[in-house]
């Protein structure tokens, strides 16, 4: 390989070390076998936790710690050019998990297989930690002063320290101090659950997805599905897509608007006749109301009749409104064009 450095050209004469070539070959084989590569943070992760996860994830994922440059070489051999968004994530104290499992489900798998460990000073208590009543394997000595400092009642019996009753040591969310860590350690309590800190997923060497975009709560998924269903329903209504759910809304609206149009045009039918008669009655009443003051000798009594007609017309107008008035539906032109496309 030749690298241009100003006017100088570097050409590698020696072959790559056999160890690095073997690791690169192993990485290349893993990349070909698995669709997803999950990156996780190694900083502060103990070797015991890493080995425990190797065992617990056996069968669903393969953990590999390797230099990032070797991973770049392996990715380029399999997929060709490496996207910048993937290349810039290969740095620092990070390792890899190769899997074919859905990343969202694999994330749940990693959380479910968290490893218990002893508490250290500075850890936050994940729950209320209690020193259980009963005998311990501790002999009397300076440790008694630590029990007393934490207000844990003790007594000496049969040459061993006994805890008199269940005693709270630290509450959930509080920071664990050196004294508390020492007491929990000698009691054999491992209250901390440690899990791999996943950073993101490399999908087929083409895209990097941050873990925050994958770790979505089930409640959020339900909300997203509801939003998608609502948007799909609105789209189907607007294009009048012929499904039972859409037609159940569109056809009554189309029928009501067709009746209103027929009544305005004076088309005679069984459905429009009551509307036409009501309109004729209303117009006759309005005409009588206009004539009555000018010709009192006719003795026209129209006030009560007019109120009855107005009430009747108002009731018919309410019936003509769409069944789902509060919901914005397709326009009259959209319904007409959509129904026409069905024939």
Sign of the dihedral through C-alpha 72, 73, 75, 81: positive
CATH number 2.30.30.830 given to 2-114+195-215: no
Provide the pLDDT for residue 213.
85
Q: Rounded to whole angstroms, how far apart are CA atoms 307 and 313? A: 10
What's the length of the chain? 343
Tokens of 154: 């003790």
Average pLDDT over residues 98-104: 92
Compute the distance between CA of residue 199 and CA of residue 246 in angstroms, rounded to an integer: 44
CA distances from 227 to 71, 212, 297 (A): 40, 20, 68
SS3 161: strand
Q: What is the pLDDT of residue 245?
A: 82
Per-range mean pLDDT, top range of 80-89, 168-177, 303-312: 80-89
Is 125 within 8 Å of 172 (Cβ atoms)?
A: yes
Question: What is the three-state SS of 191-219?
Answer: CEEECCEEEEEEECCCEEEEHHHCCCCHH
Fold of 129-192: Molybdopterin biosynthesis moea protein, domain 2 (3.90.105)
Where are the domain boundaries for CATH 3.30.70.1730 in the chain? Answer: 2-114+195-215
Q: What is the dihedral of CA 328, 333, 337, 340, to 10 degrees?
A: 100
DSSP strand pairing (129-131 vs 167-170): antiparallel
β-partners of residue 3 are: 10
Predicted pLDDT of residue 94 = 94
User: pLDDT-derived band of residue 75, with 50, 70 and 90 as boundaries?
Assistant: very high
Task: Report the mean per-residue pLDDT for the chain.
Answer: 80
How many CB atoms are located within 10 Å of the residue 62 CB?
Answer: 15
Tell which residue, 135, 163, 139, has the closest CA to residue 151.
163
Beta strand 62-64 with 94-99: parallel, antiparallel or unpaired? antiparallel
The pLDDT value recorded for residue 324 is: 46
130 membership: H or E segment, kind and range: strand 129-131
User: Which pLDDT does position 160 carry in this prediction?
Assistant: 84
Lowest-confidence region among 57-71, 81-95, 177-191, 321-335:
321-335
Please state, for a pLDDT cut of 90, what percent of the chain lies above it. 21
Name the most confidently modeled range: 215-224, 234-243, 327-336: 234-243
Residue 317 pLDDT > 80:
no
Residue 213, C-beta contacts closer than 8 angstroms, at least 6 positions apart:
none
pLDDT tens-digit series, residues 233-286: 888 888 888 888 888 888 888 888 888 888 788 887 888 778 888 887 887 778
Is residue 93 over pLDDT 90?
yes
pLDDT at 329: 53
User: 11-15, 60-64, 123-127, 146-150 — which one is most confidently predicted on average?
Assistant: 60-64
Cβ(240)–Cβ(330) below 8 Å: yes
- Closest to 319 measured CA to CA, from 230, 264, 259: 259
Least confident range from 106-115, 268-277, 295-304: namely 295-304
Q: Which residues contact 233 (CB under 8 A, 6 or more apart)?
A: 245, 246
194 pLDDT exceeds 50?
Answer: yes
Q: Is residue 80 over pLDDT 80?
A: yes
Is the per-residue pLDDT at 232 higher than 50?
yes
As annotated, the residues of the chain forming the CATH 3.90.105.20 domain(s) are 129-192
> Quick one: average pLDDT of 178-191?
84
């Amino acid at each position: 390989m030749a690298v241009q450095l100003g006017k100088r050209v570097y050409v590698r004469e020696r072959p790559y070390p056999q160890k690095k070539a073997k690791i690169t070959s192993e990485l290349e084989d893993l990349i070909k076998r698995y669709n997803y590569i999950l990156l996780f943070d190694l900083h502060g992760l103990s070797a015991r936790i890493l080995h425990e996860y190797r065992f617990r994830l056996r069968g669903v994922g393969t953990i590999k710690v390797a230099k990032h440059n070797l991973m770049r070489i392996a990715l380029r051999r399999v997929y060709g050019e490496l996207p910048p968004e993937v290349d810039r994530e290969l740095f620092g104290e990070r390792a890899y998990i190769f899997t074919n499992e859905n990343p969202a489900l694999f994330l749940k798998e990693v959380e479910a297989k968290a490893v218990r460990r002893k508490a250290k000073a500075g850890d936050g208590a994940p729950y209320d930690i209690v020193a259980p009543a009963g005998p311990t394997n501790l002999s009397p000595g300076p440790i008694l002063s630590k029990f007393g400092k934490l207000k844990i009642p003790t007594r000496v019996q049969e040459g061993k320290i006994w805890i008199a009753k269940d005693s709270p040591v630290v509450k959930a969310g509080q920071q664990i101090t050196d004294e508390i860590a020492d007491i929990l350690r000698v009691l054999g309590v491992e209250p901390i659950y440690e899990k791999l800190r996943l950073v993101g997923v490399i999908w087929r060497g083409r895209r990097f997805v941050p873990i925050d975009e994958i770790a979505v709560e089930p409640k959020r998924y339900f909300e997203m599905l509801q939003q998608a269903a609502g948007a799909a329903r609105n789209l189907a209504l607007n294009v009048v897509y012929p499904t039972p759910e859409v037609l159940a809304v569109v056809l009554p609206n189309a029928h009501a608007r067709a009746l209103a149009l027929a009544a305005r045009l004076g088309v005679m039918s069984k459905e429009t006749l009551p509307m036409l008669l009501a309109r004729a009655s209303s117009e006759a009443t309005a005409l009588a109301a206009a004539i009555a003051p000018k010709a009192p000798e006719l003795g026209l009594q129209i006030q009560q009749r007019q109120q009855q007609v107005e009430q009747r017309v108002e009731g018919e107008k309410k019936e003509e409104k769409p069944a789902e008035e509060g919901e914005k539906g397709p326009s009259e032109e959209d319904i007409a064009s959509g129904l026409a496309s069905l024939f």
